[in-house]
Chains A and B, each alone.
Chain A
Amino acid sequence: MKRLIEAIDLVKHFPVGDKKRLHAVDGLNFHIEAGETVGLVGESGCGKSTLVRLLTRTLDLTDGQVRFHGHGIGLIPARAMADHPMRREIQMVFQDPTDSLDPRYTARQTIAESARLLTDMSGSALDRAVEETATHVGLPFELLDRYPHQLSGGQKARVGIARAIVVKPRLLVLDEPTAALDVSVQAVILQLLDRLKREMGMSFLFVSHDLNVVRLLCDRVLVMYLGQIVESGPAREVFARPLHPYTRALIASLPGGLAGGQTTDADLLIGGDPQSPIDPDAHRCRLFGRCPRGVERCHTLAPPLREISRGRAAACHFVGPTEREAFVDAALAMHNIHVDPARRAALTSEFNRVAEMARLVQAARLPGDTLPAPQYRP
């Protein structure tokens, strides 16, 4: 079955000054299947926005291919994309709902515009489509004839989503859709997205820096650093058992921690400036200098993204199963229990959660507790 969208050796370089080039996206390979929700995480400056614009074809590629349902779309110039029949298949919800709405267009006009230009709907069929979509995203009809400055942040976010889904795209890219909203509205919009995902069967590419949200909404996750993908795999697994040091550092640095995770302070990035994306050294790992694990090999040979186990890949010289994974494998064998691979990740994740709880118990100190603290590390 053909993949919905595939990026093959995708490259985007921006010229800087006369001779230098900024490697915003540097040889990316990934895919999204039909009906999948893929999360893309990474700090700001890692190239997420550039990647998103390459996929939605609003930016031209420097090299590589993008294939949508098997058709190459990477060579279509960004300027010509608006008139291409593929335009309606890939849509995007922007980060800042205020900035992405034309202040002179009412909500209805904004939503109708996509439908009018990209489909052959018109007249009352068009009006109906606009109203159906508004209902779908929970936007009351009275608000449709308002201008953006008359709408709240959450309402504008809904308009942004409605405008993207009214043409029923097969792939919806969401670029930090809740970053510009305040906390109470975020939860509402995330629930809306969760519902849309379940009801519309669209594939989603969800770009976010909030790992908790990505973990709960996405089937697979891609972790990006300085223009490259450093880890990929099913979301539950990647968060339950993060392989790449950068992913581990992202999780370790969350203030509340990630429930069920198994990273510690030893995983945090060591001080040091990130390498520059301008003409980077091709012979070393991009994380070298900030990685707590870095050794000689890391700065003489750049680790490629390789498959570690089925469906999981990471770009690091040092990845392997952890002690906990080994323990669970051994325990299952001893009890003579077979768990099929599709459920193995969930099992690890649950086991990690109990292990984290056991760690909390071990760390507690109550009066009257005369026994010494155990030395092992659950």
Chain B
Amino acid sequence: MAEAVMSPWQKRWTALRYVVGENPLSLAAFLLFATFVLLALVGPWLAPFDALTSNVGTPLAPPSLKYWFGTDALGRDILSRVVVAARLDLGIAVAAVSISVLIGGLAGACAGFFGGWTDRIVGRLSDTIMAFPLFVLAMGIVAAMGNTVANIVLATAIINLPFYIRVARAESGVLRNTGFVEAARLAGNSEARLLFYHIIPNILPPMTVQVSLNMGWAILNAAGLSFIGLGVRPPAAEWGIMVAEGAQYIVSGEWWIALFPGAVLMLAVFCFNLLGDSLRDLVDPRRRT
């Protein structure tokens, strides 16, 4: 029985199609994710109106054919602002989670694999972070260092570190004692090579589940900080800050100002949570046939 030899890319594409095809829900999640990414990349050019300009239309106008999501108190088109905010929110989340994964993952892997002092130091660090209610810590960091996008990213990254450290440390600790690690030593892998070429690739599957859940959480975090005024500053378009701005108008009946950004925010978080499962299937070869 001759099997066609597939290039690594062909194999990944086949795997992707398999994973996506198997579950309609994951298909939906992927499409949604793709939409968000698209919005983040080209949103500003697609938006019908400028997101920052005031008075493009009557302030507080309800949704209509011209302004699909209505306008806010300053007469800005909410649809345009929502679209443009995607870039900021996703950008913050991606940056924060990336930093967390890299630093937390590496620190946790070293702690779990090497043990000893490394483990003790990383453990203390993680405990210190976890000693605070995480959102409060984020608030504290941003308040102390100033309301810039960079600081929001930093704060979000820091409060997420313990999760990655914990997963990486636990998985590495288990892997340290498996036969293939010992076999890899015999194959000439130094301790550093073992860490990077055997341990870390094997702890990726559990970490990727975390990543997607985390993305959702990070978006929520950034939005939350903005909501209470410690995040992005006006007139920047960001979902959280838009919800904050719209909150005061709900009582007076202008529901659309808070609803649309809130709904899109919710959709984004939902999408990333669903994505978590599919991503794990893609990365872990054992789950594929």
| Contact present for B188 and A88 (CB under 8 Å) | yes
A247 at interface by CB-CB < 8 Å: no
Cβ contacts under 8 Å, A87 to chain B? 186, 188
Residue of B186, B189, B286 touching A149 (CB-CB under 8 A): B286
Confirm or deny: A36 has a beta carbon within 8 angstroms of a beta carbon on chain B: no
Return chain B residues, CB-CB under 8 Å to A145. 5
Q: A103-B202, A103-B286, A147-B285 are in contact. Are A114 and B187 (CB under 8 A)?
A: yes
Find the B residue at minimum CB distance from A87: B188
How far in angstroms is the closest Cβ of chain A from B25?
A: 25
Q: Would you call B10 an interface residue if the criterion is a C-beta within 8 Å of the partner chain's C-beta atoms?
A: no
The residue in chain B whose Cβ has the minimal distance to the Cβ of A80 is B190
Contact A117 B179 (CB under 8 A): no
Kindly identify which residue among A88, A100, A104 contacts B183, using a CB–CB cutoff of 8 Å: A100
Contacts of A102 in B (CB 8 A): 180, 184, 198, 201-202
List B contacts of A56 (CB < 8 A).
186
* Cα-based distance from A163 to B187 in the complex (angstroms): 8
In the complex, what distance in Å separates the CA atom of A117 from the CA atom of B184? 10
Interface secondary structure of B, over-half rule: helix
Of A90-98, A200-208, A281-289, the stretch lying at the interface with chain B is A90-98
Residues of A46-90 at the interface with B, using a CB-CB cut-off of 8 Å, are: 56, 58, 79, 81-83, 87-88
Which parts of B1-34 form the interface with A (CB within 8 Å)? 3, 5
In the complex, the chain B residue whose C-beta lies closest to that of A111 is B187
| Most chain B CB within a 10 A radius of its CB, from A56, A81, A100 | A100
Q: Are A82 and B188 in contact (CB under 8 A)?
A: yes
B285 touches A103 (CB 8 A): yes
Q: Does B252 contact A (CB under 8 A)?
A: no
A369 close to chain B: CB less than 8 A: no
Contact B3 A142 (CB under 8 A): yes
A82 touches B183 (CB 8 A): no
Q: Cβ of A81 and Cβ of B185 under 8 Å apart? A: yes
Q: Return the chain A residue nearest B289 by Cβ.
A: A150
Contact A83 B179 (CB under 8 A): no
B-contact 0/1 string along A108-122, CB 8 Å cutoff: 000001100110000
Known contacts A102-B202, A103-B285: A58-B180 contact under CB 8 Å: no
A285 to chain B, nearest CB (A): 33
Contact of A79 among B3, B179, B191, B286 (CB under 8 A): B191
Given A88-B188, A145-B5, A163-B187, 13 further pairs, Cβ under 8 A: A58-B182, A58-B186, A82-B188, A99-B178, A100-B180, A100-B183, A102-B198, A102-B202, A103-B202, A103-B286, A114-B187, A114-B188, A118-B187
Spell out A's residues near B (CB within 8 Å).
Answer: 56, 58, 79, 81-83, 87-88, 91-92, 94-96, 99-104, 113-114, 117-118, 142, 145, 147, 149, 160, 163-164
14 A-B contacts (beta carbon < 8 Å): A58-B185, A79-B190, A82-B188, A92-B186, A94-B183, A95-B179, A100-B180, A100-B183, A102-B198, A104-B201, A142-B3, A145-B5, A149-B285, A164-B186
Residues of chain B touching chain A, judged by Cβ–Cβ distance below 8 Å, are 3, 5, 178-180, 182-191, 193, 198, 201-202, 285-286
